[in-house]
Amino acid sequence: MTPSVRLQEMIRVIRSARTQGEERGIIQKECADIRAQFRQGDNGERSHSLAKLLYVHMLGYPAHFGQMECVRLIASPRYSEKRIGYLGAMMLLDEKQDASLLITNSIKNDLSHSSQYVQSLALCTLACMGSAEMCRDLAPEIERLLRASNCYIKKKATLCAVHIIRKVPELAELFTPSARSLLSEKNHGVLHGAVVLITELCEHNPDTLDQFRKAVPELVQIMKGLVTSSYSPEHNVAGISDPFLQVRILRLLRILGHNNDTASDAMNDLLAQVATNTDSSKTAGSAVLYETVLTIMDINSESGLRVLAVNILGRFLLNNDRNIRYISMTSLQKIVQTDHNAVQRHRGTIVDCLKDQDTSVKRRALELSLALVSAVNIRSMMKELLIFLSTCPPELRSQTTSGIFNVAERYSPSKRWHIDTILHVLTTAGGDVRDETVPNLIQLITTASELHCYTVHKLYRALVKEISQQPLVQVACWCIGEYGDLLLKGECEEIEPVQVTEDDVLDALETVLQSHMSSPATRGFALTATMKLSTRITDNVDRIRSIVSIYGSCIDLELQQRAVEYNALFKKYDHMRYPAVLERMPVMGKNSPGHTNGDTSGENKEPDPSKPKPVEAGLLSEPASQVIIIGYLLQNISISNKCCSFELSINQRILEKNVSWFPRNCCVYVHVVLTETVYEKNGLRLKIQCDKQTETEVMVTLIGSNSAQNDITNFSLQAAVPKVCTCSTFKLSRFSTHKQQIISAAILTGHSIHTVHEY
| Cβ neighbours of residue 504 closer than 8 Å, sequence gap 6 or more | none
Q: State which of 102-106, 520-524, 597-601, 660-664 shows the largest mean pLDDT.
A: 520-524
Single-letter amino acid code for the residue at 197? L
Same domain, 631 and 572: no
pLDDT tens-digit profile of 485-523? 888 887 776 667 678 888 898 999 999 999 999 999 999
pLDDT tens-digit profile of 634-675? 333 333 333 334 433 333 333 233 333 323 222 232 333 346
Q: What is the mean pLDDT of residues 591-615?
A: 39
What confidence score (pLDDT) does residue 664 get?
28
Same domain, 631 and 534: no
Closest CA to 284 of 244, 234, 330: 244
593 vs 690 pLDDT, higher one? 690
Q: Are 135 and 104 in contact (CB under 8 A)?
A: no
With pLDDT > 90 as the criterion, what percentage of the chain qualifies? 23
Does residue 99 sit within a domain?
no
Split at pLDDT 50, 70, 90, the class of 250 is very high
Does residue 5 sit within a domain?
no
What residue numbers bound the domain in which 679 lies? 626-756
- Residue 598 in this model has a pLDDT that exceeds 50: no
What confidence score (pLDDT) does residue 422 get?
92
Q: How far apart (Å, rounded) are the C-alpha atoms in residues 518 and 529?
A: 15
Same domain, 635 and 746: yes
Does residue 319 sit within a domain?
no
For the ranges 68-77, 584-593, 595-604, which has the lowest average pLDDT?
A: 595-604
Same domain, 564 and 654: no
What confidence score (pLDDT) does residue 635 get?
34
| Mean pLDDT of the residues in the chain | 78
Q: State which of 366-370, 585-589, 603-607 shows the largest mean pLDDT.
A: 366-370
What confidence score (pLDDT) does residue 715 get?
59
Same domain, 538 and 656: no
What confidence score (pLDDT) does residue 718 get?
57
Cis peptide preceding 607, ω within 30 of 0: no
pLDDT tens-digit profile of 180-215? 888 888 888 899 999 999 999 998 888 888 888 888
Does residue 640 sit within a domain?
yes
Same domain, 567 and 669: no
pLDDT tens-digit profile of 257-273? 888 889 898 999 999 99
Q: What is the dihedral of CA 414, 416, 419, 423, to 10 degrees?
A: -130
pLDDT tens-digit profile of 318-360? 888 889 999 999 999 888 888 888 889 899 999 999 988 889 9
Listing DSSP states for 349-373 in one string gives: HHHHGGG-S-HHHHHHHHHHHHHH-
What confidence score (pLDDT) does residue 497 get?
66
Point out the domain boundary residue: 576, 600, 618: 576
How many distinct structural domains can be found in the chain?
Answer: 2
Burial of 557 (0-12, 13-18, 19+ CB in 10 A): exposed
Same domain, 683 and 566: no
pLDDT tens-digit profile of 696-749? 566 667 777 777 767 766 555 555 555 444 434 444 444 444 445 554 444 433
Same domain, 550 and 666: no
Does residue 570 sit within a domain?
yes
Closest CA to 267 of 322, 223, 210: 223
Q: How far apart (Å, rounded) are the C-alpha atoms in residues 90 and 97?
A: 12
Helix (H) or strand (E) holding 704: strand 697-706
Q: Please tell me whether residue 652 adopts helix, strand or coil conformation.
A: coil
Q: Please tell me whether residue 104 adopts helix, strand or coil conformation.
A: helix
pLDDT tens-digit profile of 404-459? 999 998 999 998 899 999 999 998 887 888 888 888 899 899 888 888 888 898 89
Closest CA to 412 of 367, 379, 447: 379
Q: What is the mean pLDDT of residues 566-594?
A: 74
Does residue 477 sit within a domain?
yes
What confidence score (pLDDT) does residue 335 get?
87
For the ranges 6-15, 224-233, 238-247, 612-621, which has the lowest average pLDDT?
A: 612-621
pLDDT tens-digit profile of 358-416? 899 999 999 999 999 999 999 999 999 999 998 888 889 889 999 999 999 899 999 88
Q: How far apart (Å, rounded) are the C-alpha atoms in residues 474 and 524?
A: 9
474 vs 237 pLDDT, higher one? 474
Q: How far apart (Å, rounded) are the C-alpha atoms in residues 233 and 215?
A: 28
What confidence score (pLDDT) does residue 606 get?
40
Same domain, 637 and 714: yes
- Residue 247 in this model has a pLDDT that exceeds 90: yes
Point out the domain boundary residue: 561, 576, 591: 576
Does residue 544 sit within a domain?
yes
Q: Are 325 and 356 in contact (CB under 8 A)?
A: yes
20 alpha-carbon distance from chain centroid: 46
Q: How far apart (Å, rounded) are the C-alpha atoms in residues 36 and 729?
A: 104
- Residue 291 in this model has a pLDDT that exceeds 50: yes
Same domain, 655 and 726: yes
What confidence score (pLDDT) does residue 692 get?
62
- With the C-alpha atoms ordered 295, 297, 300, 304, is the resulting torsion angle positive or negative? positive
Q: Are 704 and 684 in contact (CB under 8 A)?
A: yes
Q: Are 51 and 92 in contact (CB under 8 A)?
A: no
Does residue 545 sit within a domain?
yes
Closest CA to 580 of 696, 751, 447, 718: 751
Split at pLDDT 50, 70, 90, the class of 617 is very low
